[in-house]
Amino acid sequence: MRKTSKILLVFVALSAFSVLGQPTATPATTSYEALVEKVKAGNNNIDFRELRLAYVDSATRKKAKDTDAQKKAMNQALRDQDYKSVLENAQAVLQQEFVDIDAHFAEYTAYRELKQSEQTEREKYIVAGLLDSITSSGDGKTLDTAYQVINVHEEYVVLRFDGLMPSKQSLQHKDGHSFDVMEAVDPKTNKKVTYYFNVDIPFAHYLK
């Protein structure tokens, strides 16, 4: 079992969920669409890093529609405790981007509040698996051990689940690789921390 990351300990505290370690990740060899179907079918032997990497060059991503409106509606519905609307909007987001952690966490929250235990447990597993697939790619403390992300939004997800507020973002390069350096603050202690994220994948996408 992999070492449970700090970010997952936060998630465990929030959801009382214990996570099994994910299999060692390798470059995507199965199509994104096939991997999504495995998750939806209830398969519990999912390599979530492979799933995220597969999404980057998938046909689904290339033809994905913008879901900003659905994300805003999802978050507003969470604030309003309108869990039916949460699920409707979260599912619209996940149809375009199944690896969106925010949408899965919204579904987890909605199912939990609606007392739908089976779906709640499933979403716990998916959220934890996606988070762990990021935080197990390094420790985020140096350029050489940076977390690998497939988009910049994942950086903010990691910070949020670690209870941190971002304060400054900068870009660094080393040995042909690109890194986002995220400075953040723990609002409970005012302690400042710095996380490093490898952004080679989003950079390559933007340059296409």
* Residue 128 predicted with pLDDT over 80: yes
Contact between 184 and 166 (Cβ < 8 Å): yes
140 within some domain: no
pTM for the full predicted model: 0.85
The boundaries of the domain holding residue 160 are 147-207
User: Domain total for the chain?
Assistant: 2
Write the burial class of residue 60 (CB in 10 Å: 0-12 exposed, 13-18 middle, 19+ buried).
Answer: middle
Residues 162 and 107 in one domain: no
Residues 78 and 171 in one domain: no
- List CB contacts of 51: < 8 A, sequence separation 6 or more: 28, 32, 35, 36, 39, 98, 99, 130, 133
In the predicted model, what is the mean pLDDT of residues 1-24? Answer: 39
Contact between 60 and 33 (Cβ < 8 Å): yes
Residues 71 and 101 in one domain: yes
Q: Quote the pLDDT of residue 207.
A: 57
